[in-house]
Amino acid sequence: MNKPYDIPPAFNLYKFQLKALPVLSAWGLASFIAGLVWLPNREAWRAGFGTQFAAWGLIDAFIALLGQRAAARNHLRWQRGEIDKQEQQRQAAQFERLLWLNAGLDICYVLGGKWLVSRQPQDARRQGMGWGIIVQGGVLFIWDVILGILVHNRGRGNKP
Protein backbone atom coordinates (compact mmCIF):
# COMPACT_ATOMS: atom_id res chain seq x y z
CA MET A 1 0.00 0.00 0.00
CA ASN A 2 1.30 3.44 -0.88
CA LYS A 3 2.14 5.91 1.82
CA PRO A 4 0.43 9.29 1.56
CA TYR A 5 1.80 11.16 -1.45
CA ASP A 6 4.04 8.26 -2.48
CA ILE A 7 3.64 9.16 -6.13
CA PRO A 8 3.86 6.27 -8.56
CA PRO A 9 6.22 6.80 -11.51
CA ALA A 10 3.29 7.13 -13.94
CA PHE A 11 1.95 10.28 -12.24
CA ASN A 12 3.53 13.56 -13.25
CA LEU A 13 2.09 16.47 -11.30
CA TYR A 14 3.34 19.05 -13.78
CA LYS A 15 1.86 17.34 -16.85
CA PHE A 16 -1.38 17.00 -14.91
CA GLN A 17 -1.40 20.73 -14.12
CA LEU A 18 -0.52 21.62 -17.72
CA LYS A 19 -3.54 19.62 -18.92
CA ALA A 20 -5.94 20.86 -16.22
CA LEU A 21 -5.19 24.57 -15.99
CA PRO A 22 -6.20 25.47 -19.57
CA VAL A 23 -9.75 24.51 -18.56
CA LEU A 24 -9.64 27.17 -15.84
CA SER A 25 -8.15 29.62 -18.35
CA ALA A 26 -11.01 28.93 -20.76
CA TRP A 27 -13.61 29.37 -17.98
CA GLY A 28 -11.95 32.63 -16.95
CA LEU A 29 -11.80 33.97 -20.49
CA ALA A 30 -15.39 32.94 -21.24
CA SER A 31 -16.59 34.51 -17.97
CA PHE A 32 -14.70 37.72 -18.69
CA ILE A 33 -16.13 38.02 -22.20
CA ALA A 34 -19.66 37.19 -21.04
CA GLY A 35 -19.29 39.72 -18.23
CA LEU A 36 -18.23 42.42 -20.67
CA VAL A 37 -21.28 41.65 -22.82
CA TRP A 38 -23.66 41.78 -19.83
CA LEU A 39 -22.03 44.71 -18.03
CA PRO A 40 -23.45 47.57 -20.13
CA ASN A 41 -26.93 46.02 -20.08
CA ARG A 42 -29.76 48.39 -19.15
CA GLU A 43 -31.32 45.68 -17.03
CA ALA A 44 -29.73 46.19 -13.60
CA TRP A 45 -29.74 42.49 -12.68
CA ARG A 46 -27.80 41.53 -15.82
CA ALA A 47 -25.36 44.38 -15.36
CA GLY A 48 -24.67 43.26 -11.78
CA PHE A 49 -24.26 39.66 -12.91
CA GLY A 50 -21.91 40.84 -15.67
CA THR A 51 -19.83 42.83 -13.19
CA GLN A 52 -19.10 39.67 -11.22
CA PHE A 53 -18.45 37.55 -14.30
CA ALA A 54 -16.00 40.06 -15.75
CA ALA A 55 -14.10 40.46 -12.48
CA TRP A 56 -14.01 36.77 -11.57
CA GLY A 57 -13.14 35.81 -15.13
CA LEU A 58 -10.16 38.12 -15.18
CA ILE A 59 -8.92 36.79 -11.84
CA ASP A 60 -9.48 33.13 -12.80
CA ALA A 61 -7.63 33.56 -16.10
CA PHE A 62 -4.73 35.31 -14.34
CA ILE A 63 -4.45 32.57 -11.69
CA ALA A 64 -4.56 29.88 -14.38
CA LEU A 65 -1.86 31.66 -16.38
CA LEU A 66 0.42 31.88 -13.35
CA GLY A 67 -0.23 28.22 -12.56
CA GLN A 68 0.52 27.15 -16.12
CA ARG A 69 3.78 29.10 -16.15
CA ALA A 70 4.86 27.53 -12.85
CA ALA A 71 3.88 24.03 -14.03
CA ALA A 72 5.80 24.50 -17.31
CA ARG A 73 8.90 25.66 -15.40
CA ASN A 74 8.64 22.77 -12.98
CA HIS A 75 8.08 20.27 -15.79
CA LEU A 76 11.29 21.45 -17.47
CA ARG A 77 13.14 21.25 -14.15
CA TRP A 78 11.76 17.72 -13.64
CA GLN A 79 12.88 16.70 -17.15
CA ARG A 80 16.39 18.03 -16.41
CA GLY A 81 16.50 16.04 -13.17
CA GLU A 82 16.40 19.12 -10.93
CA ILE A 83 13.24 17.92 -9.22
CA ASP A 84 13.31 14.47 -7.69
CA LYS A 85 10.45 12.19 -6.70
CA GLN A 86 10.39 13.50 -3.12
CA GLU A 87 10.12 17.12 -4.25
CA GLN A 88 7.32 16.24 -6.65
CA GLN A 89 5.57 14.40 -3.79
CA ARG A 90 5.91 17.46 -1.57
CA GLN A 91 4.53 19.70 -4.30
CA ALA A 92 1.65 17.30 -5.04
CA ALA A 93 0.70 17.30 -1.36
CA GLN A 94 0.92 21.10 -1.27
CA PHE A 95 -1.19 21.40 -4.45
CA GLU A 96 -3.82 19.04 -3.04
CA ARG A 97 -4.00 21.05 0.21
CA LEU A 98 -4.37 24.25 -1.81
CA LEU A 99 -7.24 22.73 -3.79
CA TRP A 100 -9.10 21.71 -0.61
CA LEU A 101 -8.48 25.15 0.93
CA ASN A 102 -9.84 26.75 -2.24
CA ALA A 103 -12.91 24.48 -2.12
CA GLY A 104 -13.58 25.76 1.40
CA LEU A 105 -13.19 29.35 0.22
CA ASP A 106 -15.52 28.62 -2.70
CA ILE A 107 -18.22 27.63 -0.21
CA CYS A 108 -17.66 30.96 1.54
CA TYR A 109 -18.05 32.79 -1.79
CA VAL A 110 -21.35 31.01 -2.48
CA LEU A 111 -22.59 31.85 1.02
CA GLY A 112 -21.44 35.45 0.57
CA GLY A 113 -23.35 35.68 -2.70
CA LYS A 114 -26.42 34.20 -1.04
CA TRP A 115 -26.10 36.76 1.76
CA LEU A 116 -25.90 39.58 -0.80
CA VAL A 117 -29.01 38.27 -2.58
CA SER A 118 -31.00 38.03 0.65
CA ARG A 119 -29.71 41.32 2.09
CA GLN A 120 -31.14 43.65 -0.55
CA PRO A 121 -33.96 41.89 -2.40
CA GLN A 122 -35.23 45.19 -3.84
CA ASP A 123 -31.87 46.09 -5.47
CA ALA A 124 -31.75 44.29 -8.83
CA ARG A 125 -28.09 45.16 -9.44
CA ARG A 126 -27.09 43.68 -6.07
CA GLN A 127 -29.24 40.64 -6.81
CA GLY A 128 -27.36 40.11 -10.08
CA MET A 129 -24.04 40.58 -8.34
CA GLY A 130 -25.00 38.06 -5.67
CA TRP A 131 -26.07 35.49 -8.23
CA GLY A 132 -22.87 36.11 -10.20
CA ILE A 133 -20.86 35.32 -7.07
CA ILE A 134 -22.96 32.22 -6.40
CA VAL A 135 -22.43 30.88 -9.92
CA GLN A 136 -18.70 31.65 -9.98
CA GLY A 137 -18.13 30.22 -6.51
CA GLY A 138 -20.18 27.13 -7.36
CA VAL A 139 -18.27 26.40 -10.56
CA LEU A 140 -14.94 26.92 -8.80
CA PHE A 141 -16.06 24.63 -5.97
CA ILE A 142 -16.81 21.84 -8.45
CA TRP A 143 -13.51 22.48 -10.24
CA ASP A 144 -11.43 22.44 -7.06
CA VAL A 145 -13.13 19.29 -5.72
CA ILE A 146 -12.65 17.41 -9.00
CA LEU A 147 -8.99 18.38 -9.18
CA GLY A 148 -8.49 17.58 -5.49
CA ILE A 149 -9.94 14.10 -5.97
CA LEU A 150 -7.88 13.47 -9.12
CA VAL A 151 -4.61 14.58 -7.50
CA HIS A 152 -5.41 12.57 -4.39
CA ASN A 153 -6.20 9.39 -6.35
CA ARG A 154 -3.55 9.65 -9.05
CA GLY A 155 -0.90 10.71 -6.59
CA ARG A 156 -1.47 7.47 -4.71
CA GLY A 157 -1.72 5.26 -7.77
CA ASN A 158 -5.49 4.78 -7.56
CA LYS A 159 -7.73 4.95 -10.59
CA PRO A 160 -10.07 7.96 -10.39
**17-46 tens-digit pLDDT:** 999 999 999 999 999 999 999 998 899 999
pLDDT higher than 80, residue 127:
yes
Q: How many domains does the chain have?
A: 1
Judge whether 105 lies within some domain: yes
pLDDT higher than 60, residue 55:
yes
Judge whether 5 lies within some domain: no
Q: Considering only CA atoms, which of 31, 35, 58 is closest in space to residue 46?
A: 35
pTM, full prediction: 0.87
pLDDT higher than 70, residue 60:
yes
Looking at residue 41, its pLDDT comes to 86
Confidence of residue 11 (pLDDT cuts 50, 70, 90): confident
Range of the domain at 18: 13-155
Judge whether 7 lies within some domain: no
